[in-house]
A and B are shown apart, each in its own frame.
Chain A
Amino acid sequence: MSTVVKAGPAHAAGPAHPLAHRRPLGDRGFALLALIAGLLVLVILVLIAVSTAQQSANWFSSVGLSGFFSATWNVSANKFGPMAFVYGTVISSIIALIISVPVSIGISLLLTEVLPRRVARPIVYVIDLLAVVPSVVWGLWGILILVPWLQKIYGDIASGVKGIPVLDSLFGGPNTSGASFFTAGIILAIMITPIITSLSREVIATVPSIDKEGAYALGATRWEMIRGAVWPHSQGGVVGAILIGLGRAMGETIAAALVIGDSPEVTSHLFYSGFSMPAAIALEFGEASGEFRSALIGIGLLLFVITLVVNLFARVIVERSARKMRGA
């Protein structure tokens, strides 16, 4: 803590106050440096928004509001409606959540409530291993191994559900492809499970053990204790964790790009090829120019805004539930 320069009683030409001490330049400089580093976060976020908006203004103005909500994406005809990509992003992320959420919650409960510490620790390492595998490697595995393998399975399922009302439109053919919304959903699920698991674990671990003992003391089984004492405390935080996973799934580029296919179509058939926002940007950018490029950057801005909102929402929920627990 720096001492402030004391303004002592005015002495015409007398000595300064014995405890006066000007805060050294180095100290002030360091504080300034730290402040700048902190502000960098805000600056970058603002710059992202501004620069992408600028570069995509061309497209935004020409596509207009109606064009914005169209799914027609035809480069040669200069039609750049982004909704097919939005659809693909949303669908593949939802599939990823459906697969990943029960698995993640199951694992986090397993690690916090069921397994003794010694056994849980190596399993946590395994989950961390999962998180460290680069997304491009998942994509490589996906496109070279998973896609061909699933191609046949999808075909079989499609012929199996042929004619059955809802199932046929979801899982039916005839254009099923290994690279599809569903495959992307699977790969995304694998990739977001570690983050949802680790965030949920943190939340669940803060449930006070005295609450858990209270449930046990009433003769509850472990599952009943989890439902009665653990879940009410942690549901907010877990929901936040899930939303963060959602944001991650929506923004995942490379793995999705390699396995989702490359047809910007809006279709209910989950086994068909599709496209997603980040995948489109990654795959099409190389040859794009002019309005095409501007459109892709616009999609990037859209993606930025969507993931920003989801993450904001998620953090608020997590904050709120953490505060509630501290208060209790």
Chain B
Amino acid sequence: MEQPQNEVTAKLTVPQTATGTRPGSQPRPQAGATVFDLDKVSVYYGAFRAVTEVSMNIHENEITAFIGPSGCGKTTVLRSLNRMNDLIPGARVEGKIRYRGAGLYDVQASPTAVRRRIGMVFQKANPFPKSIYDNIAYGPRINGIRSKSRLDEIVETSLRHAALWDEVKDRLGKSGLGLSGGQAQRLCIARTLAVEPDVVLMDEPCSALDPIATGRIEDLMQEIKSRYTIVIVTHNMQQATRVSDRTAFFSVLRNEQPGRSDTRTGVLVEYDRTVNIFDNPRDERTQAYVTGRMG
């Protein structure tokens, strides 16, 4: 059985069955295990502080939503969870982010290893200009899986998990670029699932989609939540109430330096179970946002 020989992971092994369960993984730890532990995390782009002192815990097998007005750092925090901000010159992270106890930004931690475990779905679907099959197989291939039968299995599994299999099973060789918006996004989700990540980050995945496609993806999120931890940035508050277990509300830091109006530093205002955030928020800013008076 092929196991990527470079992976010395604790709980993640390539599955051996086609059903998509992960028999190599241990029995579920108690619900609520911490996947991410953010401790006073600030993210800078050069001299500009995009978000300041975020502290929160993200829990396993939950859907956590980041909401808040534009420009207050939600996507910045999301991207720092899989070190995508490393791609931006001048970006740096202060504070500590632990992923299941391991320091995400430790010197010996490698971004490629991080991203293998923490996948990301983008706002605008970005299928590669390859066939549907090759899109999905890309991730496993770079991790060393070459056998066609294994890849076939993985492709089918991932497409089933992304609720796309029935629609494309007869045209796996066709280009991924020919899919509709909603299908393309599900393709990207399937592609992400194909590498068997632990966490799936989603940056406004439905913002470019119509309501029906949005609904299908939201259903998808509920289905896969038992196997993955999901963090989603969304502008759509109804979506947050529909899908998420916990919600983090971000806003802009109150006027730190009057006169410097072009620098908006984001701050985490409140983080709680979704029902509390929306029905019974503790902070007045949260209250103002969720009742529509702000943002």
* Residues on A facing B (Cβ under 8 Å): 116-117, 208, 210-211, 213-221, 224, 228-229, 232-233, 328
Q: Which of B87, B117, B177 contacts A213 (CB 8 A)?
A: B87
Judging by beta carbons under 8 Å apart, are B128 and A217 in contact?
Answer: no
The verdict on B138 contacting chain A, using a C-beta distance below 8 Å, is yes
Binds A, one of B118-126, B253-261, B280-288: B118-126
Query: Which B residues from 79 to 131 make CB contacts under 8 A with A?
Result: 82, 84, 87, 89, 111-117, 119-120, 122, 124, 126-130
A229: B residues at CB distance < 8 A: 128
**Chain B proximity of A26: nearest CB distance (Å):** 48
Binds A, one of B188-196, B244-252, B271-279: B188-196
Judging by beta carbons under 8 Å apart, are B191 and A218 in contact?
Answer: yes
What interface size band does chain B fall in?
20 to 34
From known contacts A213-B126, A232-B128, A232-B129, infer whether A219 and B138 are also in contact, taking CB-CB under 8 Å.
no
Would you call the interface of chain A mostly helix, strand, loop, or mixed?
helix
Judging by beta carbons under 8 Å apart, are B128 and A211 in contact?
Answer: yes
From known contacts A213-B87, A228-B142, infer whether A219 and B112 are also in contact, taking CB-CB under 8 Å.
yes
Judging by beta carbons under 8 Å apart, are A233 and B126 in contact?
Answer: no
**Chain B proximity of A251: nearest CB distance (Å):** 33
B192: A residues at CB distance < 8 A: 217-218
A224: B residues at CB distance < 8 A: 142
The verdict on B15 contacting chain A, using a C-beta distance below 8 Å, is no
Judging by beta carbons under 8 Å apart, are A214 and B112 in contact?
Answer: no
5 interchain pairs (CB within 8 A)? Answer: A211-B129, A217-B82, A217-B115, A219-B116, A233-B129
Judging by beta carbons under 8 Å apart, are A216 and B115 in contact?
Answer: yes
Closest chain B residue, CB of each to CB of A214 = B126
**Chain A proximity of B70: nearest CB distance (Å):** 19
Q: Interface centre among A217, A221, A228, by most B CB within 10 Å? A: A217
Bound CA span A218–B121, Å: 10
Bound CA span A233–B127, Å: 12
A213: B residues at CB distance < 8 A: 84, 87, 120, 122, 126
**Chain A proximity of B181: nearest CB distance (Å):** 13
Bound CA span A208–B126, Å: 9
From known contacts A220-B112, A328-B177, infer whether A214 and B128 are also in contact, taking CB-CB under 8 Å.
yes
A220: B residues at CB distance < 8 A: 112, 115, 138-139, 142
Q: Interface centre among B139, B143, B195, by most A CB within 10 Å? A: B139
Judging by beta carbons under 8 Å apart, are A218 and B115 in contact?
Answer: yes
Q: Which of A116, A117, A218, A232 contacts B139 (CB 8 A)?
A: A218
Closest chain A residue, CB of each to CB of B175 = A328
A208: B residues at CB distance < 8 A: 126
From known contacts A211-B128, A229-B128, infer whether A218 and B195 are also in contact, taking CB-CB under 8 Å.
yes
A221: B residues at CB distance < 8 A: 112, 142
| Residue interface mask B12-25, A partner, CB < 8 A = 1 | 00000000000000
